[in-house]
């Protein structure tokens, strides 16, 4: 019987031995075999990406992580899924698996800060060059391709500024030039967008965010097609990038309610945005909510849903009053990450290069404009609106 994704997420795995509705947490380093022949045969199955229920050594994972891999393979429609201990580990795994000295990577200028750091600072130590392109200008991407271009790294929508790109055009260009493609799909998740089905070689999601959904687990998911599987597996086994059984268990727990939570995040966000768009202190809302906008049209073209993360542009000559707005919010926690049950807020610094952020090359905003990122959680949206209304009064 063919099941919908919503049904599948509720029934992906059980512990039949102990009759538990949840899988066991298997912590193991040594895996025992009955003979050398059995060990050799099992390692051959792993190499050929055959279905397995355990690995040959704990560095690669455990029965618990395999359960999570299988769920995500179905969700992503992937050839294989690699799990890492943090979200950022998945980005590093992708780059270090396929890029070699002399290669160039084309990187969307609006990527997540640490992704920018590894692609700009770390890889140059290995004689790999990162070239950043304007996410709002497809011609800029096309013109920067050279014979050395190995990979195009896309984040869609862009971190903090939420530009949407025409993904099919990028894939078509990359395939013609025989260039590998990578998409950071953390915002949309494979519930709303399946990058590998679209044609990308690698699809990354930070499992720390909506997969977990409870702000208590960290992990990364890198889904790949057959084309890059061997290269990624080679580096994965040697690097030691792997997720613990405990984190995998928590993320499996979170995935069971992914569809329900994302729907609620989106419903709450629409209500909050309807309030924010009427506030004269807010110049712009960076979210696909205007049907005639480029942002909305490209979101609608590729995605089947949206979530609770967006930014607002506040116009004020008094930055301290914007900081006071952020600090005075009571239902929005100030902290990194997003995708959990709770609402969050951060004032973003995209204008200057700091210890924690790299300067953006293509995003333009005026001196008196400030970007505040909001994550709308699962609280009552009326309470969130009351909180925002009170705190907006501090902006001068």
Per-residue pLDDT of the chain (396 residues; tens, 9 = 90+): 567 888 988 887 766 666 777 888 899 899 999 999 999 999 999 999 999 888 998 888 999 999 999 999 999 999 999 999 999 899 999 999 999 999 999 999 999 988 998 888 889 999 999 999 999 999 999 999 999 999 999 999 999 999 999 999 999 999 999 999 999 999 999 999 999 999 999 999 999 999 999 999 999 999 999 999 999 999 999 998 999 999 999 999 999 999 999 999 999 999 999 999 999 999 999 999 999 999 999 999 999 999 999 999 999 999 999 999 999 999 999 999 999 999 999 999 876 655 556 678 898 888 899 999 999 999 999 999 999 999 999 999
Cα angle 193, 197, 200 (rounded to 5 degrees) comes to 90
| Res 16: pLDDT | 66
Domains of the chain with CATH codes: 5-255 (3.40.640.10), 258-392 (3.90.1150.10)
In the DSSP assignment, the letter for residue 198 is H
Predicted confidence at residue 319, as pLDDT, reads 95
pLDDT in tens, 318-350: 999 999 999 999 999 999 999 999 999 999 987
CA distances from 121 to 52, 128, 333 (A): 38, 10, 31
Angle made by CA atoms 198, 160, 310, in degrees to the nearest 5? 85
Report, in this order, helix, strand and coil percent for the chain, each rounded to 5. 40, 15, 40
Alpha-carbon span 376 to 76, nearest angstrom: 25
Contact 252, 22 (CB under 8 A): yes
What counts of helices (H) and strands (E) characterise the chain?
15, 12
Asked whether 189 and 258 are in contact (CB, 8 A), the reply is yes
pLDDT on residue 98: 97
Please state the pTM of the whole predicted model.
0.93
Taking the C-alpha atoms of residue 283 and residue 271, their distance in angstroms, rounded to an integer, is 18
| Phi, psi angle pair for 120, to nearest 5° | -100, -40
* Number of neighbours of residue 168 by Cβ within 10 angstroms: 12
């Amino acid at each position: 019987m063919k099941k919908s994704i919503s049904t599948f997420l509720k029934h992906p795995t059980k512990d039949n031995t102990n009759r538990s509705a949840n899988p066991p947490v298997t912590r193991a380093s040594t895996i025992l075999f009955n003979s050398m022949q059995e060990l050799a045969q099992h390692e051959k199955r792993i190499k050929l990406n055959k279905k397995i229920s355990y690995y040959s050594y704990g560095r690669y994972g455990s029965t618990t992580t395999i359960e999570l891999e299988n769920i995500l393979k179905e969700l992503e429609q992937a050839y294989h899924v690699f799990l890492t201990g943090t979200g950022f580990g998945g980005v590093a795994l992708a780059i270090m698996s396929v890029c070699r000295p002399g290669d160039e990577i084309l990187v969307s200028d609006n990527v997540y800060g640490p992704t920018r750091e590894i692609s700009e600072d770390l890889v140059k130590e290995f004689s790999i060059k990162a070239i950043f392109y304007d996410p709002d200008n497809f011609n800029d991407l096309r013109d920067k391709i050279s014979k050395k271009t190995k990979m195009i790294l896309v984040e869609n929508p862009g971190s903090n500024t939420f530009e949407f790109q025409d993904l099919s055009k990028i894939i078509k260009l990359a395939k013609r030039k025989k260039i590998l493609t990578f998409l950071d799909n953390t915002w949309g998740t494979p519930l709303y967008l399946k990058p590998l089905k679209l044609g990308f070689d690698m699809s990354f999601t930070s499992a720390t965010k909506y997969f977990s959904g409870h702000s208590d687990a960290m992990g990364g998911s890198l889904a790949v097609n057959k084309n890059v599987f061997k290269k990624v597996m080679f580096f994965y086994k040697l690097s030691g990038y792997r997720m613990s059984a405990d984190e995998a268990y928590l993320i499996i727990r979170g995935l069971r309610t992914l569809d329900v939570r994302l729907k609620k995040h989106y419903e709450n966000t629409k209500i909050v945005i309807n309030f924010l768009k009427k506030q004269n202190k807010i110049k712009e809302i960076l979210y696909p909510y205007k049907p005639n906008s480029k942002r909305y049209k490209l979101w609608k073209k590729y995605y089947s849903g949206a979530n609770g993360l967006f930014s607002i542009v506040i116009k004020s000559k008094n930055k301290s009053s914007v900081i006071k707005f952020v600090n005075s919010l009571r239902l929005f926690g100030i902290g990194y990450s997003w995708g959990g049950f709770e609402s969050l807020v951060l004032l973003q610094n995209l204008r200057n290069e700091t210890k924690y952020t790299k300067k953006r090359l293509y995003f333009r905003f005026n001196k008196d404009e400030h970007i505040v990122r909001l994550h709308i959680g699962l609280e009552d949206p009326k309470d969130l609106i009351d909180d925002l209304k009170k705190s907006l009064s501090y902006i001068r």
